[in-house]
């Protein structure tokens, strides 16, 4: 066994093929991530190098000046580039949406998965229908609602509209249905209340699905653009996505500075991708490959 494997590995046409494959994979990886690598590289460049010809790929005189300037500006009172506020706003709003969705979706999914009640199919259809209404189609009345509630420039205006989710309810219901039905019958016969069963048994056993929903909705909220653009006016209430686009329009000649901003904005989601990849993939492919 060990010998044949050793034989495989020293087999030179096989080795050559494998090295070729690694080379191909590496080149393709660089090509796909090229814009990200360029952003990283330019964030360490001085403007003089960026505008030189031919356009550079790697910094000739690497510098942290762009990052220093982003942070300096952010710390200045009344700063036109309050990037820490952007990050804080995006973080607060995304976290609030994650918590809101976990709560509303697990309650609803529990009812659909375990409780017997009349009218279930009608209510199920109601949840299904929300998946067919694109957010952009209702954005006008939604904006008017938030404005009339005087929620413009507030965290609740940014977060509350997204706290219920048909997708998440569906995802969690699927996961709850995998749990053995006997667990429920036993717990209810034991006299444990239905809510305690959800809290003490269903939720702890469904951690992977909850994680999937959390990673998914954090990323989706963090990357939102249209809605935060509409419901924020003050610079300190902007989210990172709106902030970075604004920065490019205001500093159209300072590419190094803008790319430092890009790197700061993209780091949290790249980290989330690397750490939560399995959860994310499960969420994105839910239903997509069935059949």
Partner 1 sequence: MLAGPSPQLLASWPTGLLAYSSMTQVQTATIGRLGAAAIRKRRARGARDLIEALLYLAPSLLLFAVFVFIPLARTVYLSLFYTNPVGNPRGFAGLDHYVELATSPAFHRSLLTTFQFALYTVPGGIVIALLLAVLANRRLRGINVFRTFFSSTIAVSLAVAATIWALMLNPSIGLFNYLLGSIGVRGPAWLTDPSSALVSVSLVTIWATLGFNMIVLLAGLQSIPEELYESAKIDGAAGLKIFRHITIPMLSPSLFFLLVVNIIHVFQAFTQIHALTRGGPVDATNVLVYSIYLDAFVNFQFGFASAQALVLFTIILALTLVQFGVVERRVHYQ
Query: What does the DSSP assignment read for 137-203?
Result: GGHHHHHHHHHHTT-TTSHHHHHGGGS--HHHHHHHHHHHHHS-HHHHHHHHHTT--HHHHIIIIIH
| Residue with Cβ nearer partner 1 (78 or 141) | 141
> Rounded to the nearest whole angstrom, what is the least distance from the CB of residue 75 to partner 1 in the complex?
23
Does 179 participate in binding partner 1 (rule CB under 8 A)?
Answer: no
The CA dihedral of 86, 91, 97, 100, to the nearest 10 degrees, is -140
Is 122 within 8 Å of 63 (Cβ atoms)?
no
Is 126 within 8 Å of 64 (Cβ atoms)?
no
Does 136 participate in binding partner 1 (rule CB under 8 A)?
Answer: yes
Q: Specify the stretch interacting with partner 1 by CB under 8 A; choose among 69-77, 180-188, 199-207, 256-264.
A: 256-264
CA–CA separation, 107 and 215 (whole Å): 19
Does 60 participate in binding partner 1 (rule CB under 8 A)?
Answer: no
Does 75 participate in binding partner 1 (rule CB under 8 A)?
Answer: no
Does 62 participate in binding partner 1 (rule CB under 8 A)?
Answer: no
| Residue with Cβ nearer partner 1 (77 or 118) | 118
CA–CA separation, 75 and 284 (whole Å): 38
Does 289 participate in binding partner 1 (rule CB under 8 A)?
Answer: yes
Number of residues that bind partner 1 (CB under 8 A): 108
Which positions from 194 to 233 touch partner 1 by CB under 8 A, shown as an x/- string? x---------------------x--xx-xx-xx--xx---
Does 61 participate in binding partner 1 (rule CB under 8 A)?
Answer: no
Q: Specify the stretch interacting with partner 1 by CB under 8 A; choose among 73-81, 184-192, 199-207, 255-263.
A: 255-263
Candidate list 117, 182, 191, 233; residue touching partner 1; CB under 8 A: 117
Is the dihedral angle over the CA atoms 113, 117, 121, 125 positive or is it negative?
negative
């Amino acid at each position: 066994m060990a010998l044949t494997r050793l034989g495989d590995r020293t087999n030179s046409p096989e080795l050559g093929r494998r090295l070729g494959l690694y080379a191909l994979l590496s080149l393709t990886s660089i090509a796909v991530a090229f814009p990200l690598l360029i952003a990283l590289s330019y964030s360490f460049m001085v403007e003089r190098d960026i505008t030189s010809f031919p356009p550079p790929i790697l910094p000739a005189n690497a510098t942290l000046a762009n990052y220093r300037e982003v942070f300096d500006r952010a710390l200045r009172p009344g700063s036109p580039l309050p990037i820490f506020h952007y990050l804080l706003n995006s973080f607060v709003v995304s976290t609030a949406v994650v918590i809101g969705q976990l709560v509303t979706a697990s309650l609803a999914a529990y009812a659909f998965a375990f409780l017997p009640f009349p009218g279930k199919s009608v209510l199920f259809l109601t949840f299904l229908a929300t998946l067919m209404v694109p957010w952009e189609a209702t954005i006008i009345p939604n904006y008017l609602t938030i404005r009339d509630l005087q929620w413009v420039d507030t965290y609740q205006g940014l977060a509350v509209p997204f706290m219920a989710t048909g997708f998440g309810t569906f995802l969690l219901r699927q996961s709850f249905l995998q749990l053995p039905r006997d667990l429920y019958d036993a717990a209810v016969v034991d006299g444990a209340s239905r809510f305690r069963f959800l809290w003490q048994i269903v939720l702890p056993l469904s951690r992977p699905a909850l994680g999937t929903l959390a990673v998914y909705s954090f990323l989706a909220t963090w990357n939102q653009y249209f809605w935060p653009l509409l419901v924020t006016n003050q610079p300190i209430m902007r989210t990172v996505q709106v902030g970075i686009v604004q920065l490019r329009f205001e500093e159209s000649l300072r590419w190094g500075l803008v790319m430092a901003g890009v790197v700061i904005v993209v780091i949290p989601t790249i980290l989330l991708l690397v750490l939560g990849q399995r959860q994310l993939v499960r969420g994105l492919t839910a239903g997509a490959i069935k059949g």
